Amino acid sequence: MVDTLSRVPVTDCVKLCHRVVDGLCGRQRPSRRDYSTIWSPEEWLDLLNSLTAVCRLAVGNNSSDEEVLAGLSGVGSSSHAEAVLSVLRARREEIRRSLLDRTNSISSATLQDFDWQLKVALSSDKISSLHTPLLSLSLDVKENSALRSFTMEMNREELNTLVSSLEAANKVVLQLK
Amino acid sequence: MEEVDNILIHALRQVGTEVGEDIDSVKQFSSELIVEAVVRCVRVIEPSLGSVLPTSLPPGMSARFRVGMSLAQACQDIGYKGEIGYQTFLYSNEPEIRSLLMFLVEKLPREHAEASDQPTGKSVVLQRAIAAAIKAQLAVTWLPSNCRLPLHGETQVNSLELHFDCFHVQPLSLPQCTQGLGKKQLKEMKDYQRDILPPVTAQPSHHASVVASILEQHTAELSAAQEWDIEWNSQGLLSRLTPQEYRCRKQTRLHKRIVEQLRSAVLPSPESAFGGPSSTSDLSELLQAFRCTAPSDHILTKGTHFTHTQKFTFTQVRSTMPKYDSAERNCPCRKKSDIQLRQQEELTSVQQQFQQLCTGTMSSRSTIAQCTCVLVQVLDELKQRELGNCEKEERMQVKKKTINLLPDADNNLLKLQALVESSAKRVVNLASQWEKHRAPLIDEHRRLKEICSNQELESSRKLSEIKSLHDKIRVSTEEAKKKEDVYKQLVTELENLPQDASRSAYTQRILEIVSNIKKQKEEITKILSDTKELQKEINSLTGKLDRTFAVTDELVFKDAKRDESVRKSYKYLAALHENCNQLIQTIEDTGTILREIRDLEEQIETENGNKTVANLERILDDYRAIRQENSALAAKVREG
């Protein structure tokens, strides 16, 4: 599990742990290429998974420093465990927020991201001058842990319908609070 | 004439002629400026004619002469009726140039002026330009990306590049100083922010998503702050709590609600068969999914009943897993089919075991639920019984005491009576004392109550004031926004106005001129009628004179034959008549001569206006220059 962590010096260990936490919070994970000489692929996956699990457990259960250290007893040297603990202390708030986000997106499909472009259709195949604004909206929806992208194009009336229905949904959510 | 010149110069500037700021009349135009103005006008009116003409005069004299000739030809081709030749441009005089420029400016196409007047015209022009550009792009044939030249790069984009143009948001980590003011920041956090945290621009994996991520983060923070503001103003202020208390209360309320929801979703499921469609609601399905398939590292941060059961389930499963792993590793060198078979078997056995375990946990969970119910009931019962016990013990103690007193009944009775009396006295005493203390306390209580109600009234008044102030702020911000919009609109209108203003000034001026002309016309007609009357009078007088003369002549002639003196007088009469005729003739002659003199003076003035002398000198100079050029050319020819 985490016992292979002692193969790198402490400063690198701190950096690696920060990168792991970055990956946990939705940013770039550490790439295996940088550490390919130190760990084999299986060990690398193992290490990543176990480090992530340690972070989640420690923050999710709001455990004290001693508990975390006990969980890290598998690591060879105590200085490495201390390094992991310091990373955890520094990033506790960030990890907590990302875990809360996970909990918030508990329903089957959640909106992850969206992007929009405004276009003007100058003419069509039948009408030579047609100044109609069109909105192309793309929604990145996470459905059962798979990211799917929905793209749609709407004119003004359709956009108004969408906005009003979304507002109604927001009102329902506000009433729940 | 100034007005006309201003209009002319304005029009010329619009065409693109660079008329200097200090020039405000046609008189100040130099030959170069005249040529440039005329050429620009001709180019706008008739592009085919104007494109061959140069906008500036060449240095050579003969070349200048040729340019002047071609310009004059171009003006005649456009339709200028007046006298025009190379001299118009090279040796200009004011009225000719003015009439030529007026003709050209009138000929300028109308829509050019209209397009600059109307703001709607601009967008039409833009749309036309866009349409033309798109048409041109569509006309270009499509090429695969590796055959493209750099000049195609802008218009032909392949789909991959398009995909990269999309914006994606990634979470950012920002050090926040404002939060840490109250509580001291951790040393590790500071170290992390100083040494390891990359700058915001380096945090996202793609450079393109930097802006989108930052904007998204800021929007999220802003909208959260706004939402809180609105909620606090609408509900928070009314609840008369501090923000922290309000938040706390809301959190506990929401927590309770979520727990209730989850519990109601969890409870019915154990009764139905495992894995079956227990209920149609989304939440319970999701919870089912959690129960069956979620990996072990899915840990909810909130410790509900449901998470505890889940954790329990999975630790069990995990403990059974290593066995199979080790079994697998022991036999790595078997045949493939064998391994597959084994794996299948293992899989089925594991699944079976898993099912068993699941059903086991289900049944044990239901028993646990039953047991907890029973436990609660039993605990309630126990409490009630303990209460009953206490009461009974008290009663028993009282009875014990009375039994102890029974043997010496009379004495004890007396003692008891004395005790009762003394205690009654004491009670009365205490009551009077209590009354003494009570009265001021009650007064105090009333006073405080009054103050309290007063304060409450005041606070509610202030609350309503605050509310009205909020409303006012909102209303005034809206008004300010509206007024700003109106201001912007008016500014744009103002920008479009000046031309209209000058136009109205011009029309006013024209009307004035027209009225002036009318007045002058009236005066002229008056003078004309005066002259007519004078002419009539003169005619009648000459007629009268002729007739009187004829009559006198006859009478005197008759008498002259008889009388010598009368003959003399007749001679005088004839002489008088002749002299008078001569006089009249002379006066008429002076009149005509005076008129001629005036005409001549006018002619001299116009000639002076034409700068004849200066032009003559220039012509002489130019003539000399041409002669020099010619002689130089002749010399060259001879040398060659």
The three state secondary structure string of B135-152 is: HHHHHCCCCCHHHCCHHH
Q: What is the pLDDT of residue B119?
A: 45
CA of B189, closest CA in chain A: separation in Å?
4
A35-43 — which CB contacts under 8 Å span 24+ positions? A35/A8, A38/A7, A38/A8, A39/A4, A39/A7, A43/A4
Token couple for A174: 């506000």
CB contact under 8 A, A131 and B191: no
Mention the CATH class of domain B2-132: mainly alpha
The closest of B323, B192, B411, B263 to A89, measured between CA atoms, is B192
Q: What is the pLDDT of residue B153?
A: 55
Q: Taking residues B41-57, what's their average pLDDT?
A: 80
Contacts of B12 (CB under 8 A, 6+ apart): B19, B37, B40, B41, B101, B105
CB contact under 8 A, A122 and B131: yes
B169: pLDDT strictly greater than 70: yes
The closest of A55, A45, A145, A144 to A94, measured between CA atoms, is A55
CB contact under 8 A, A94 and B173: yes
Angle at the Cα of B596 (from B594 to B599), degrees rounded to 5? 115
Residues in chain A within 8 Å Cβ distance of B131: 122-123
CB contact under 8 A, B168 and A90: no
The better pLDDT of the pair B95, B510 is held by B510
Distance of alpha carbon B8 from alpha carbon B106, whole angstroms: 10
B15: pLDDT strictly greater than 60: yes
Find out whether A110 and A40 touch, Cβ atoms under 8 Å: no
Residues A135, A66, single domain; the answer is no
Residue ending a domain, among A59, A79, A104, is A104
B149: pLDDT strictly greater than 70: no
Which of B130, B171, B299 is closest, CB to CB, to A26? B171
Residues of B in CB contact (< 8 Å) with A are 127, 130-131, 134, 166-171, 173, 186, 188-189, 191-192, 196, 203-205, 212, 250, 254, 257, 282, 285-286, 297, 299-302
Find out whether B90 and B66 touch, Cβ atoms under 8 Å: no
Average pLDDT of chain B? 80
Write down the residue that tokens 């605050």 correspond to: B466
Q: What is the pLDDT of residue B184?
A: 55
Residues A165, A80, single domain; the answer is no
Residues A61, A75, single domain; the answer is yes
Residues A93, A131, single domain; the answer is no
Q: What percent of chain B has pLDDT over 90?
A: 32
Q: Taking residues B581-588, what's their average pLDDT?
A: 93
Of the candidate ranges B44-53, B106-115, B392-401, the one whose mean pLDDT is the lowest: B106-115
Dihedrals φ, ψ of A131, to 5°?
A: -95, 80
pTM for the whole structure: 0.41
Find out whether A106 and B286 touch, Cβ atoms under 8 Å: yes
Distance of alpha carbon A107 from alpha carbon A143, whole angstroms: 9
Q: What is the pLDDT of residue B517?
A: 96
Q: Which residue of B has its CA nearest to A123?
A: B131
Residue ending a domain, among A77, A104, A131, is A104
Residue ending a domain, among A89, A104, A119, is A104
Question: A60 and chain B: CB distance < 8 Å anywhere?
Answer: yes
Decide the pairing of beta strands A146-154 and A109-121: unpaired
pLDDT tens for each residue of A137-153: 988 888 877 888 889 99
Residues in chain B within 8 Å Cβ distance of A65: none
Distance of alpha carbon B28 from alpha carbon B50, whole angstroms: 24
Contacts of B117 (CB under 8 A, 6+ apart): B496, B499, B500
**Residue A2: Cβ within 10 Å count:** 21
Distance of alpha carbon B511 from alpha carbon B517, whole angstroms: 10
Q: Assign residue B149 a region (left: φ > 0; alpha: ψ between -120 and 50; beta: otherwise).
A: beta
Which residues is B56 bridged to in the sheet? none
**Residue B204: Cβ within 10 Å count:** 21
Dihedrals φ, ψ of B37, to 5°?
A: -60, -45
B325: pLDDT strictly greater than 70: no
Highest mean pLDDT among B249-258, B278-287, B481-490: B481-490
Burial class (CB in 10 A: 0-12, 13-18, 19+), B10: middle
Residues in chain B within 8 Å Cβ distance of A86: 188, 191
B530: pLDDT strictly greater than 90: yes
Which of B131, B186, B257 is closest, CB to CB, to A89? B186
pLDDT tens for each residue of B597-630: 999 999 988 887 777 778 888 889 989 988 998 9
B177: pLDDT strictly greater than 70: no
Residues in chain B within 8 Å Cβ distance of A115: 166-168, 212
**Interface mutation vs chain B, best among A115, A129, A138, A173, most B CBs within 10 Å:** A115
**Interface mutation vs chain A, best among B173, B209, B260, most A CBs within 10 Å:** B173
Q: Assign residue B79 a region (left: φ > 0; alpha: ψ between -120 and 50; beta: otherwise).
A: left
Looking at residue B432, its amino acid is S
Find out whether A20 and A8 touch, Cβ atoms under 8 Å: no
Residues A88, A166, single domain; the answer is no
Residues A97, A119, single domain; the answer is no
ipTM above 0.90, yes or no: no
The closest of A55, A91, A31 to B196, measured between CA atoms, is A91
Distance of alpha carbon B488 from alpha carbon B484, whole angstroms: 6
Q: Give the domain ranges of chain B.
A: 2-132, 182-240, 270-396, 409-496, 522-624
CA of B121, closest CA in chain A: separation in Å?
15
Residues in chain B within 8 Å Cβ distance of A89: 186, 188-189
Token couple for B182: 């109250």
Find out whether B168 and A23 touch, Cβ atoms under 8 Å: no
Which residues is A167 bridged to in the sheet? none
Distance of alpha carbon B80 from alpha carbon B100, whole angstroms: 8
Question: A142 and chain B: CB distance < 8 Å anywhere?
Answer: no
Contacts of B297 (CB under 8 A, 6+ apart): A49, A52, A53, A56
Q: What is the pLDDT of residue B539?
A: 94
Query: What are the distances in angstroms from CA A94 to CA A80, A89, B27, B424, B499?
Result: 21, 10, 80, 73, 62
pLDDT tens for each residue of A91-123: 888 888 888 888 887 777 888 888 888 988 888
**Helices B61-78, B31-45: inter-axial angle, 10-degree rounding:** 40
Residues A91, A9, single domain; the answer is yes
Dihedrals φ, ψ of A77, to 5°?
A: -95, 150
Full residue range of the structural domain in which residue A146 is found? 109-176
For chain A, what is the domain count?
Answer: 2
Average pLDDT of chain A? 83
